[in-house]
Amino acid sequence: MIEIEHLTKRYGAAAIVDDVSFRVEEGTVAAVVGTSGAGKSTLLRMINRLVEPSAGRVLIDGQDTMAIPEDALRHRIGYVIQGYGLFPHRTVAENIATVPRLLGWDRRQIAARVEELLDLFGLDPAEFAKKFPHQLSGGEQQRVGVARALAARPALLLMDEPFGALDPVIRHKAQDELLSIQRRLGTTVVLVTHDMNEAFHLADRIAVMNQGRLLQYAAPAELLTRPAEAFVEQLVGSAERPFRLLSLMRVQEAVEPGTAEGEPLSVADTLHDALSRLIWLGREVLPVADASGAPVGRISVSRILAHGRARA
Amino acid sequence: MNTILQTTVPGMHSSRSHIILDRLGSVIAVLISIALFAAPFATYRANRIVAGEGRMLTEALPTAGALGVTAVILCVALCAVLARAPVIRLAAAAAGLGAVFPALGWSAGFLTPAGNTFARVSPALGFWLLTLALALLAADALTRLRLGPLARLAALAVAAGAIAGLLLSGAWNDLSLLKEYANRADSFWREARQHLWLALGSMAAACLVGLPLGILAHRFRALRAAVLQVLSIVQTVPSIALFGILIAPLGYLAAHVPLAAALGIRGIGAAPAFIALFLYSLLPVVGNTVTGLSQVPPAVTDAARGMGLSRRQRLLEVELPLALPVILAGVRIVLVQNLGLATVAALIGGGGFGTFVFQGIGQTAIDLVLLGAVPTVALSFAAAVILDAMIDLAKGPSHDRD
Amino acid sequence: MSLRSSAPRVAALLLLVAFVTAPQLFSFAFEPLTANNAPAIYNQGSLLSLTLSHLRIVFLATLASTMLALALGIFVTRPSGHEFLPLSRSLVNIGQTFPPIAVLAIAVPLVGFGEKPTFIALFLYGLLPIFENTLSGLTGVSPQALDAAKGMGMSPRQRLFQVELPLALPVILAGIRLSVIISLGTATIGSTVAAKGLGEVIIAGLQSNNVAFVLQGGLVVALLAVLIHDGLGIAERVAARRSGRPLDEAR
């Protein structure tokens, strides 16, 4: 668990981060969003002390980060940046092994961990271990960057625009992959992004920042339905609101008893995807099946629309 | 964005209230103290050949003068340590140089017994250290001021004017360096002309040949690789070796082709030096022309093409103007390099300032060496400043320095 | 390195070695250049020992300049030396307007004739290219790689030795190569101040009006320079490949 308490960074008279407090629960993903210059990256960099706070503190599992030597602190925290910062003079395997080597793991342990991570990210060790970063595609570089950050099994992963350099198709895949790995490992993630879709897609809670201040820290749905300030409303996009809301909800929540013709939707699909299918096929209702394929009911356009309405 | 903020913000220190010692300034102050109190300011020799004896500043000047100069220099040191504003530091450096340089001439007059024409006074370690320290201070201040090209040219002109004024006023006439000059005033200017002819003439020839060659090499890939490779091998050959290699064929030419001999081409002399300097100059000119042209954004040439500019128009109106700063950077390399290398020409009878340098080495007369070396360094330095300013001007106001 | 491209190198090297070890074998080529029965091949000393002492002084001077220039370059790119960075850049710029021969000439009256002034000139002038390239190599390291290194908890020392220096190595090597080439030339001129080296052959030729000496001295120095330039170029490319950059990116 990360507790950020009254964190402030001033350069001269200007406060880049101004008295920000929030808490990220164990095993969840928090996204920090805002326009550029809002202080997102500085906030993130204060967590691993790449930037020293002017005031306030950060607690990781109750321990003040100031009480831990800088380097030791960073060994425990995964860090992924835009562009990844892979070391061009080191192979993929050596890149991933960076922190374990700093920690003095023995050689066999490191080799095993590298192989495990390459497998986890779907990179064949035989093919990729010996490659240099410049021989990789953008998507592969991104995966190596995340694998490197996770190498020493950190409980916390900090990510600064980790998908910013990817094209939309690969970006979406990389986000899904990150989400599934995060769920599997139970890593706590703090992610900085200016892409609202990314934040809604990945985050359990979203922190909205503007000019150094934290405007709202809430679950995605709450951000949509109860924006704290006009700026938040504008940032989440008022025109997109219903669709964003629908994409946060699963078919499970809107399923009704009954049957219908056609290929069934899954309970795990988002309402956004379900509505999309209904419109495209020109149907009012479609059947719904559970994960094993057994029919559990049906879903209708009107029920979906009701879920996308503003809640007073 | 925030990575920028990570590095320290300039000016942050100055906002603190307590006094902060400038670290470079402290180094300069230490140099100045050594120069003032632990090193001889001038060297006195009874005649040109015998070994010299060092004279401390206090011995080299009348007491009042020595105290005055010391006081000025100590004030400068204090400025270097305490003042942070570049303008103040520059002014301090200028004031210091304005005291030390005339003081050297004064000490020469003071140390030379009246009517003695054999005695020689030369600058000693203390003077050189002071000059070094003050020049460091000035260079640092100028670097921090980040002057524009025109301001830098003006600063150069002021410095050149000050030095010319000092020399013309006769304040340095008692100095050994100027006595060497007085003995050789005619040959000095002859060698100066020869030096400039060697350096600038070969550069002009290299531009005349190198620019078209660079344009061709840019157009034809195969030519580019071959030309650049050959030229870079030529560049690798040390100057004196290249002179030596050229002497044989030129000597042959002079002996067997009357026209060549009539044109003044001989194995030994200026011809091999001129040709060697010309060959050395080709690589920077051709190489930078190719680089400059290949750096023109394809979108720009494409647009020019789309607007119906002919090949020739594209080259003259778009590509060459855009490549100009890079081409000028090549010319700068050539000019500085040639001004320096032309000194070596004296070794094969090619003349130039090197004549004095090698004569000086032969006679172990440091002032004679300086008579050749100082103008060479001054010329190279001025050439570098002027060309740098031209490059900045060619880049236009849209580009920041750096 | 294909066989075709390395063949001329090997041939040049063999020719050079053959010439300096057994110059008499080549006298037929230089005889036409002599007059009045002057010797065709340099006879006032062994070419081999001249070559070796030439190389020795260049090597020692470059070693010394490399160590100092690297240390200075590292110092001014650390936070503690940052204040000196702009000035050191200007100094390098100014320093390079001094012709090497001027440095050599000024050193003579200070330390006398012989190897010493040559060593000083080679050392001082050799500092500039290495320092300049160390600076540009170290400041050219990608900020992302540095940020990542810091973020993973590398200490400043680990960052320097594991990230910055390896990445800057090809550029630093290019500086060393430039420095060596300049030193080879300056050492040749060093013979005018009585340093033992290949310049002796050329100068003896100039003094006795023997074009054959001048030419063979010039050729040996030229071959030596081209071969060393080439050899160091190969080392540089290997380093560039090791640092994971495509060949054309590291100059």
Q: Is residue C205 part of a domain?
A: yes
Q: Is residue C73 part of a domain?
A: yes
Name chain B contacts of C204, Cβ cutoff 8 Å. Answer: none
B5/A39 CB distance under 8 A: no
Mean pLDDT of chain B: 86
| pLDDT for residue C248 | 41
Q: Pick the residue of B355, B359, B361 with the most C CBs within 10 A to test the interface with C by mutation.
A: B361
For residue A120, is pLDDT > 70? Answer: yes
B2/A36 CB distance under 8 A: no
Pure H helices in C78-164: 85-95, 100-111, 115-139, 143-151, 156-158
What mean pLDDT is predicted for residues C65-83? 92
Nearest residue, CB atoms, A99 vs list C150, C152, C155:
C152
For residue C173, is pLDDT > 90? Answer: yes
What mean pLDDT is predicted for residues C98-122? 82
| Interchain contact C242–A (C-beta under 8 A) | yes
| Interchain contact C175–B (C-beta under 8 A) | no
DSSP state of A195: -
| Interchain contact A13–B (C-beta under 8 A) | no
Nearest residue, CB atoms, A102 vs list C146, C158, C167:
C158
| pLDDT for residue B303 | 86
Q: Pick the residue of C152, C159, C162 with the most A CBs within 10 A to test the interface with A by mutation.
A: C152
Q: Which residues between 327 and 386 in chain B have a beta carbon less than 8 angstroms from any beta carbon of chain C?
A: 336, 339-341, 343-344, 347-348, 354, 357-358, 360-361, 364-366, 369-370, 372-373, 376-377, 380-381, 383-384
Nearest residue, CB atoms, B1 vs list A11, A12, A36:
A36
For residue A82, is pLDDT > 60? Answer: yes
| pLDDT for residue B122 | 87
Name chain A contacts of C138, Cβ cutoff 8 Å. Answer: none
| pLDDT for residue B245 | 84
Greater confidence (C71 vs A164) lies with C71
What mean pLDDT is predicted for residues A273-297? 89
For residue C199, give its domain range: 44-242
Nearest residue to C99 (alpha-carbon basis) of B384, A133, B318: B384
What mean pLDDT is predicted for residues B261-269? 69
| pLDDT for residue C2 | 53
What confidence tier does B264 reach under pLDDT thresholds 50, 70, 90?
A: low
B1/A16 CB distance under 8 A: no
For residue A188, is pLDDT > 80? Answer: yes
B2/A12 CB distance under 8 A: no
For residue B8, is pLDDT > 70? Answer: no
Boundaries of every domain in chain A: 2-237, 244-307
Identity of the amino acid at B53: E
Assess contact for A106 and A185: CB atoms under 8 A. no
Nearest chain B CA: its distance from A148 CA (Å): 21
Q: Is residue C29 part of a domain?
A: no
- Share of residues in chain B with pLDDT > 90 (%): 42
| pLDDT for residue B84 | 81
For residue A116 the two structure tokens come to 């495990």
| Interchain contact C35–B (C-beta under 8 A) | no
CATH number of A2-237: 3.40.50.300
What does chain B come to in residues? Answer: 402
| pLDDT for residue B390 | 92
Q: Which residues between 42 and 71 in chain A have a beta carbon less than 8 angstroms from any beta carbon of chain B?
A: 42, 45, 50-51
For residue B237, is pLDDT > 90? Answer: no
A37/B1 CB distance under 8 A: yes
| Interchain contact C144–A (C-beta under 8 A) | yes
For residue A131, is pLDDT > 60? Answer: yes
Q: What gap in Å lies between CA B41 and CA B129, rounded to an integer?
A: 9
Which residue ranges form the domains of chain B, and what is each CATH number? 20-146 (no CATH), 185-395 (1.10.3720.10)
Q: What gap in Å lies between CA B265 and CA B330, rounded to an integer?
A: 28
What confidence tier does C247 reach under pLDDT thresholds 50, 70, 90?
A: very low
> Beta strands A29-33 and A205-210: pairing type?
parallel
Nearest residue to C210 (alpha-carbon basis) of C45, C36, C54, C48: C36
Nearest residue to B374 (alpha-carbon basis) of B128, B86, B55, B115: B128
Assess contact for B301 and B317: CB atoms under 8 A. no
What confidence tier does A203 reach under pLDDT thresholds 50, 70, 90?
A: very high
Mean pLDDT lowest among A120-129, A218-227, B390-399, C150-159:
B390-399
In this predicted model, what pLDDT tens digit does every residue of B28-73 receive, in sequence order? 899 999 998 888 999 888 887 777 888 898 888 898 989 999 999 9
Q: What gap in Å lies between CA A236 and CA A224, rounded to an integer?
A: 7
Q: Pick the residue of A42, A79, A82 with the most B CBs within 10 A to test the interface with B by mutation.
A: A42
Q: Pick the residue of C188, C214, C216 with the most B CBs within 10 A to test the interface with B by mutation.
A: C214
Chain B: residue nearest A44 by CA? B2
The class level of CATH for A244-307 reads: alpha beta
Nearest chain C CA: its distance from A164 CA (Å): 14
For residue B10, is pLDDT > 50? Answer: no
Name chain A contacts of C153, Cβ cutoff 8 Å. Answer: 70-75, 99, 102
| pLDDT for residue C4 | 61
For residue B16 the two structure tokens come to 């603190």
Mean pLDDT lowest among B92-101, B170-179, B219-228, C239-248:
C239-248
Chain B: residue nearest A39 by CA? B2
For residue C174, is pLDDT > 80? Answer: yes
For residue B388, is pLDDT > 70? Answer: yes
| pLDDT for residue B13 | 42
Greater confidence (B264 vs B375) lies with B375
Chain C: residue nearest B132 by CA? C91
Nearest chain A CA: its distance from C228 CA (Å): 26
Q: How many domains does chain C fold into?
A: 1
B360/C90 CB distance under 8 A: no
Nearest chain C CA: its distance from B209 CA (Å): 24
Highest average pLDDT, of A10-14, B77-81, C62-66, comes from: C62-66
What mean pLDDT is predicted for residues A94-123? 93
| pLDDT for residue B21 | 73
Mean pLDDT lowest among A265-279, B13-27, B158-172, B291-305:
B13-27
Q: Which chains touch C (3 or more CB pairs under 8 A)?
A: A, B
Name chain C contacts of A134, Cβ cutoff 8 Å. Answer: 244-246
Give the full edge-to-edge strand order of the sheet including A213-218. Answer: A77-81, A156-160, A188-192, A29-33, A205-210, A213-218
| pLDDT for residue B263 | 65
Q: What gap in Å lies between CA A264 and CA A258, rounded to an integer?
A: 12
What Cα–Cα distance (Å) separates residue C224 from each residue in A279, B232, B326, C213? 79, 15, 31, 16
Q: Is residue C69 part of a domain?
A: yes
Greater confidence (C87 vs C248) lies with C87
For residue C84, is pLDDT > 60? Answer: yes
Nearest residue to A192 (alpha-carbon basis) of B281, C151, B393: C151
| pLDDT for residue C113 | 80
C222/B360 CB distance under 8 A: no
For residue B7, is pLDDT > 60? Answer: no
C199/B240 CB distance under 8 A: yes
Q: What gap in Å lies between CA C46 and CA C39, rounded to an integer?
A: 14
Give the full edge-to-edge strand order of the sheet including A285-289. Answer: A265-266, A285-289, A295-300
What confidence tier does A258 reach under pLDDT thresholds 50, 70, 90?
A: confident
For residue B257, is pLDDT > 90? Answer: no
What mean pLDDT is predicted for residues B263-270? 72
| Interchain contact B124–C (C-beta under 8 A) | no
Name chain A contacts of C149, Cβ cutoff 8 Å. Answer: 85, 87, 98
DSSP state of A308: T
Chain A: residue nearest C166 by CA? A89
Nearest chain B CA: its distance from C243 CA (Å): 25
Greater confidence (A117 vs C87) lies with A117
